[in-house]
Structure 1
Amino acid sequence: MLKSKTKWKFTYNDSVTDGYSNSLQGVSTLTSQLLNRRGITKPEEVKRFLHPSQEDLYDPFLLDGLSEAVERVRIAIERNEHILVYGDYDADGVSSTTVMVEALREAGAICDYYIPNRFTEGYGPNEAAFLQAAQDGFSVIITVDNGIAGIHEADVAKEAGIDLIITDHHEVQEALPDAFSIIHPKTSNDYPFKELAGVGVAFKFAQALLDEIPYHLLDMVAIGTIADLVPLKDENRALVFLGLQALNQTKRVGFKALKEVCSIDGEIEEETVGFSIGPRVNAVGRLQDASPAVDLFLTEDVSEASQLAEFINELNQERQKIVTEIAKEAEELLISGDQPLGEVIVVAKEGWNPGVLGIVASKLVRQFDRPAIVLGIDPEKNQAKGSARSIDAFDLFQNCMEVRDQFIHFGGHAQAAGMTLNTENIEEVRRQLCQKAQEKLSDDDYQQVLNVEMNVDMEEVTLEQIQEINKLRPFGMGNPKPLFHIKEKAKEIRLIGSRQNHLKLMFKKNQKKLDGIAFGMGDLYTRISPASDLEVIGELGINEWNGRKNVQVMIKDLKVQTWQLFDYRGSKHLEKKLGFPNDQHVVALTFNNAHNAPHELPIINGEEIESFQSFPLHGLVLLDLPPSLAQLSQAIQKLAPDNIYACYQVDDSAFFTSWPTRDHFKWFYGMLMKRHSFDLNKDREKLSARKGWNGNMINFISQVFFELGFVKIKDGLVTIESKPQQKDLSESTIYQERKEQLAVEQALYYSTYKELKDWFDQQREPIKEEVFNGL
């Protein structure tokens, strides 16, 4: 048995068919089912989902404040006023800044941009930057991807004579800033879609300003929208769909340079942006000023673009190293108990780079299945600054807003947030958030949920089927890549990767093969028996190698529902083959007083089974064979382990070439009657050669006759007793013990894996009690 790491939520019912699936031309049953599970059932909805277009983009002037803002910018252009685009340091902020700057310049504006330093200025508007902008002659500031929480800074701008235009998409707090204009989907009652990314809002501004859809800016929209993990549905889906097309056709020299350093070949997809492009753009602002990322996308100089791309790639490599180090330190603090591992993780330490703490928080959420806040402490300021990530069931923004008085600065979304607080408030924030989690969450809420869309037989997985699935792209938040359930035995399981930390599985059924990859699950290698029925949840995809395309499943989780048998009979080096998690209860069982067990497992003796009370038992390691099958059967029924590890060896085997029958005994005794004696030391090999008997069998027959009083044995010489009593072979203890030993060895040692598994299956069945009517 192997439990899944996540909670599987099956969102389908195989007995229910989709009534509309046959009515849609060009849509397969598979695609219909997947659309149905996304609530897309009407023909016009299906058409819009499968074929996003510019017609799916809403009128930008439905956004409150946009008309006034565009008019103010046009006046600034006429008057040659200077406009400052005030951005943010993440990928969405960088993309938003690029879009806004290009649109303003295209409209004829005199503009520049400014991105605050994450470490010295923090997120969002800041007073010093606004005052400096006023001194530098800027009369209009347009924020992108920030500003909705800048109440004080808006007042500063107003007093300095600056018209502040806020474009943002983050959660709205208690009050709105007193700005010239606020352009925000969630403050616009008439705007149909509320989940635009910051770059999406900037794009709507550009569309209104330029009085047309600026297709050449859609490449940036795709990058920012995908990287910011907003829902890829409705207008976002259309923006990303069109944006990916733009990325694949872009002439932007900066993106081409970045693509080259990322070694990206072929078509750009949402996963390319999410896992290659986005992290590199984010890395700049995480470690230093994010301006080089904006410069990369704005430059038209090939040489400059190449240098900036190389620089950004090096920063990303440094970022990865720093994240690994901090994540390890945070994990050690929590596991050691130096800092509490509560319902909500709040971990803090001096020297941690605040720029990467969001990534560290994400790692802790995945590892410990609970919300996590990771803070870097600045001892000089006596402040802690960091980021938070959450689980689906715990709304970070809502819950942190309930303790808003503990923070100096706070902002974010339901699943991600950033904050600054005084060091002395860390413990109180931890206490209050843990208390809220205790009140609002159940045990199930802490377990990550995988929404499974369909059960498939591995024989049904084809290249054509996966091409059908890809019609639902782009995948992302709000439109996750479909997860499928497959149940099959793995014909091959092996470790791969430079650190041997990934699993490679191969399933085979009726000449059909399906490869499976489970990244980061190498620890399960010793916990999966090759003969077990594996259940896996994963994404179906295509692996292309040397021009050949093969279907594969990218495994997200797996489990074994039934008990497992691990066959290590006669094996050595058991320490390497066996592996048990710290939270599992595993014991070793001996019938021959063994004193050593692999990994120093606790050992129980077969005679102690009845008094053994420690349950449940996750694993039972059998160190040696029992004197009888009945004794092991009793132990299995009593202990009922989830997994059994057969680790015994046989040194003195009872398994002869053939078991002596009564005819063997009769012939041997008749030979003694004729010869009167038989010298085991001299004559045994001759008899073996003549009759083809095993030498051990000859010794055994002699010992049985000796015990029954039929013969005498002295110094290896066997002679007939003159007046033996009449006895049956079954009266010999040696005969019965060896017969039982043979039965044990045949059932438990010399059997095939299937025979051994079947025997254990029989022993695990509950003892059936007879019921007598009326008695």
Structure 2
Amino acid sequence: MIQSKMKWQFTYNENVEGFEVQQGLTSLTQQMLEKRGIVEPDAVEQFLNPSIDYLHDPFLMEGMEKAVERVKTAIHREESILVFGDYDADGVSSTTLMMEALREAGAYCDFYIPNRFTEGYGPNEEAFLFAKDSGYSVIITVDTGIAAIHEAEVAKQLGIDLIITDHHEVQEVLPDAYSIIHPKTSSRYPFQELAGVGVAFKFAEALLGRFPKDYLDLVVIGTIADLVPLQGENRVLASMGLAAISRSKRPGVMALREVCGIEGEMNEETIGFTIGPRMNAVGRLQDATPAVELLLSKDREEAQQIASFINQINQERQKIVAEIAKEAEELLSSRSENLENVIVVAKEGWNPGVLGIVASKLVRQFDRPAIVLGIDPEKGEAKGSARSIDAFDLFANCMEVRDRFLHFGGHAQAAGMTLEVEKIDELRTALNDLAEQKLTEDDYQQVLDIEATLELGDISIKQIEEIDQLRPFGMGNPKPLFHLMNTPKELRLIGSKKNHLKLQFQKEQSRVDGIAFGMGDVYPHLTPSDPLEVVGELGINEWNGRKNLQIMVKDLRVNDWQLFDLRGSKHVEKKLVVPANEYYAAVSFQGELNAPHNIPVYTPEGFTEGDMVDGLLLLDLPERISQLEELLSRVSVSKVFACYRLEESTFLKTWPTRDHFKWFYGMLLKRKEFNLRQEGEQLAKRKGWDHSMVEFISKVFFELEFVRIKDGIVTINSKPSQKDLKESTLYKEREERIYMEQTLYYSTYKELKEWFNNYLNQSSKHSKEEVVNGL
């Protein structure tokens, strides 16, 4: 039995049978749409065929008309406009898009992105003073500003009209800005989950008086990279944006494709795992200006140089993240054996630009919220980022302890903060107390929402292509996970470090290949006959013009008991891997004292009724098979390891038939006596028998009182008893011994598994019945 690492949540309707085509869609696809709340024909049409027709009027946003009029006035008066952006992928794409829209409208404009390390997040007073001194009379923020209460006052005092476009969570008080364009402050606007670049796109549409389709390659970067829900307008912008960026002739995009090795169509994974991280990397390690310059560049050669530089920065970022993550893990392991409900780690020298990525790694590794802070000893402040699990709303919970922070902002699953160093322990205690009150043990386990359990025959290239109509996948429209259960035809380790699992399911003409990255550690715990359950993402792997069905495994488990066949092996210790969290015990029927890995050894009597053992090692064979049957009826076992060897086999020796006994008795009647010591070997050779068989027949006859044996001389009993051979204890013991060896040692793996099944299934059934009755 192998436990899954994550919690499997079967969310589908089990009453759906088969995949009959209805209105052009299989029932599986309809089921997936229904789970996403898409049932009505119009809603299905909008979801499967995103179109500009489903976008909303940008002027429905409060503040839009006033802001557009102010910009048009600035253009008419030839005033200078400063675009104030953010340093992540959403901020960079927002800044680029706003710059291009303003330039197209005829504005004198430039952009400013604060330095993460010297200025921190969002608008700041020094930057606004610089803007005033530089002659800017209008500042437009993109992807930032909704928490800039003080800075809005500064802008007012400086005579600068501040237009805020943002999408982050709204706090208790709004800045007193010239205009605020934010979906969540606009009660009339139908969709509130736009990314920062989505809000900028809406502003561009309102300003230019047309749908700016030439900016779709920009809007898709921030929309996908910022992990906003890919529903409603976001789905339209992301879908149309992926098509646009795939054919984009923008020099910056083409240069990025080249350094990333991207060929063909881009999808949400290309943006999320390739383009987005590089756009983020620059601002994480230094000034994010080069990322904006790359996207704004009109020169192919210049764009290639910047893209190459950004790629190098990203490689450096990956190295720094790995180092900090390792140090954070060491801090956690040294602090306590029990992991806290909310991880809060802090250290001097940590680059604050990458701490959000480190926090994400810790969340994935430990399945709990994580805050990672870099300490500035000169300022006495700690600054960093937080990431969370689904069950713990970071924004809401941190707002409950808002007084601990100097600065705080973010979303339910991600946040940034600054606090005094002496408040770190207070914050840790406060958040752990909140988690203790609000979370259950199950909340700390990552959940896999399973769309459907599939038979191999249900999976086809056509079905997967239909599922792909639900793309782009992301927040609010997760990539579907499916459940398969089958015994793999093939199972092996792959990769240079042999740390990945390759498997293949096959049933009749249906075949699905599987890859389980990073799950090589499970391999020693699998056996050839295990009915393996996997949860993963279905896809099509194309190689040399051939298309194969594939599942990318996210988690796996074996619900049945397992048999590990190590019979006759001299290297049990090398082949046996004992999990740290499982209890293993060994049993010896013959007094064997040692077991591999210092596993405790017991006699059969050492186990009592109801004992539960994760792994049971059978070190030797019993004298009678009933001894093992009795043991298995008393204990509950998940894994059985057949480790026994057979030094001397009874099964391989010739078993005397009734004709053998009849001939030997007839020989005795003729000769009257027979000398076992002197003539036994000669008789065996002459008849082609094993010498032990001559002795065995003689002893059985003696036990049944057919003969007498004295000093090795066998003579006929003048008055023999009337008994059958099977009344002999020796005969029955040997018969039992042969059956035991044949069943437990000389059987095939399948035969041995079937024999154990008879007893372990009964034991499991009794155990379950007792638990139910006890409840």
What's the TM-score once normalised by structure 1's chain length?
A: 0.92
Shift of 1:685: 8.1
Pick which of 377-386 and 667-676 moved more.
667-676
Structure 1 position 466, deviation (Å): 0.6
Is the alpha carbon distance of 1:577 and 1:286 closer, same or farther for their aligned partners in structure 2, counting shifts above 3 Å?
Answer: farther
Determine which of 197, 202, 205 is the counterpart of 2:203. Answer: 205
What is the aligned partner in structure 2 of residue 5 from structure 1? 5
The answer to whether 1:498 aligns with 2:470 is: no
Q: How far is the alpha carbon of 1:231 from its aligned partner?
A: 0.4
Task: Report the Cα distance in structure 1 between the residues aligned to 2:331 and 2:696, rounded to whole angstroms.
Answer: 64
CA contact (8 A) 2:197 2:223 kept: yes
Please state if 1:661 is matched with 2:657. yes
Matches of 1:385 and 1:36, distance apart in 2: 43
CA drift at 1:578:
2.7
Q: Deviations over 1:44-100 (max 9, x none)?
A: 111111111111111111111111111222222222222221111111111111111
User: What CA deviation, in whole Å up to 9, does each residue of 1:264-312 have, x standing for no partner?
Assistant: 1221111111111111221222222222211111112222222222222
Matches within 5 A, 1:375-414: 375-414=373-412
> 2:314 is matched by which residue type in structure 1?
N
How many angstroms apart in 2 are the aligned matches of 1:18 and 1:720? 76
Alignment correspondent of 1:649: 645
Q: Which residue of 2 aligns with 1:630?
A: 626
Whether the 8 Å contact between 1:100 and 1:206 is mirrored in structure 2 is: yes
Counterparts of residues 691-730 of structure 1 (less than 5 Å):
691-694=687-690, 697-698=693-694, 700-701=696-697, 719-720=713-714
Residue 242, structure 1, aligned to residue 240, structure 2: yes
Residues 164-313 of structure 1: pairs in structure 2 closer than 5 A:
164-313=162-311
2:730 is equivalent to residue 743 of structure 1? no
Instruction: Please give the per-residue CA displacement for 1:405-446, whole angstroms capped at 9, x wherever unaligned.
Output: 011111110011111111221121111111111211222222
1:760 counterpart residue number: 756
Which residue does the alignment assign to 2:69? 71
Q: How many Å separate the matches in 2 of 1:337 and 1:62? A: 53
Partner of 1:333: 331
Would you say the 8 A contact 1:18–1:32 is kept in 2? Answer: no
Counterpart contact for 1:93–1:145, Cα < 8 Å:
yes
Match of 2:483? 485
Kept after mapping to 2: 8 A contact 1:30/1:468:
no
Query: C-alpha distance in 2, partners of 1:74/1:338?
Result: 61
Which secondary structure does the structure 2 equivalent of 1:453 belong to? strand
Aligned residue for 2:753, secondary structure, equals helix
Mapped contact 1:21–1:33 kept (Cα < 8 A):
no
Deviation at residue 730 of structure 1 after TM alignment: 6.1
138-147 or 574-583: bigger deviation: 574-583
Note the 1:111-126 alignment, pairs <5 A: 111-126=109-124
What secondary structure sits across from 1:617 in the alignment? strand
Amino acid at match of 2:190: P
Question: Aligned to 2:512, what secondary structure does the other structure show?
Answer: strand
Q: Tell me if 1:60 matches 2:58.
A: yes
SS class of match (1:238): helix
Which piece of structure 1 moves more, 110-119 or 677-686? 677-686
Shift of 1:664: 2.6
For residue 84 of structure 1, give the secondary structure of its aligned residue in structure 2.
strand
Distance 1:328 1:713 in 2: 80
The amino acid across from 2:657 in the alignment is T
Contact 2:12 2:31 in 1 (8 A): no
1:153 partner letter: E
1:542–1:549 CA contact under 8 A, matched in 2: yes
Counterparts of 1:499-518 in structure 2 under 5 Å?
Answer: 499-518=497-516
Which residue number corresponds to residue 161 of structure 1?
159
- Determine the structure 2 residue equivalent to 1:772: none
Q: Determine which of 665, 683, 687 is the counterpart of 2:684.
A: 687
Q: 1:95 to 1:76 in 2, by over 3 A?
A: same
Instruction: Give yes or no for contact 1:333–1:339 (8 Å, CA) kept in 2.
Output: no
Deviations 1:1-29 (A, max 9, x none): 2222222222222325799973x3x3333
In structure 2, what is the equivalent of residue 428 of structure 1?
426
Flag the 1:599–1:352 CA change in 2: closer, same or farther, 3 A: farther
Name the SS for the 1:642 alignment partner. Answer: strand
Greater Cα shift, 718-727 or 397-406: 718-727
SS at 2:167 equivalent: coil
2:414 corresponding residue in structure 1: 416
**Whole-Å separation in 2 of the counterparts to 1:625 and 1:413:** 62
Unaligned runs of 5+ in 2: 767-775
Q: Distance in 2 between matches of 1:230 and 1:685?
A: 91
String of CA shifts for 1:650-699, please: whole Å, max 9, x gaps: 222221254223433443455567675567799748835x5443455456
The residue matched to 2:645 in structure 1 has which SS?
A: coil
What's the TM-score once normalised by structure 2's chain length?
Answer: 0.92
Equivalent-residue separation in structure 1 for 2:220 and 2:122 (angstroms): 22
User: Which residue does 1:360 correspond to in 2?
Assistant: 358
Maintained 8 Å contact 2:20/2:27:
no
Judge which range, 648-657 or 414-423, deviates more: 648-657
Per the alignment, do residues 606 and 467 of structure 1 end up closer, same or farther by CA in structure 2, a change over 3 Å counting? Answer: same
Classify 1:568/1:76 alpha carbon distance in 2 versus 1 (closer, same or farther; 3 Å): same
1:617 aligns with 2:613: yes
Letter in 2 for 1:551: L
In the alignment, which residue of structure 2 is the partner of 1:562? 560
Alignment CA distance shift 1:283-1:468 (3 Å): same
2: distance between equivalents of 1:370 and 1:329? Answer: 18
Letter in 1 for 2:714: I
Mean Cα deviation higher: 472-481 or 106-115: 106-115
Distance, in Å, in 2 between the alignment partners of 1:154 and 1:2 is 58
Does structure 2 conserve the Cα–Cα contact (< 8 Å) formed by 1:63 and 1:190?
yes
Matched pairs, number: 761
Residue 769 of structure 2 is matched in structure 1 by none
Q: What SS does the aligned partner of 1:624 have? A: coil
Q: Percent identity, please.
A: 62
Asked whether the equivalents of residues 63 and 179 of structure 2 are also in contact (C-alpha less than 8 Å), the reply is yes
* Structure 2 Cα separation of the partners of residues 362 and 331 of structure 1: 13
Structure 1 segments unaligned to the other structure (5+ residues): 770-775
Q: C-alpha distance in 2, partners of 1:567/1:77?
A: 81
Corresponding residue number in structure 1 for 2:367: 369
**Aligned equivalents of 1:145, 1:694: Cα separation in 2:** 91
Which has the higher mean CA deviation after the structures are superposed, 328-337 or 42-51?
A: 328-337
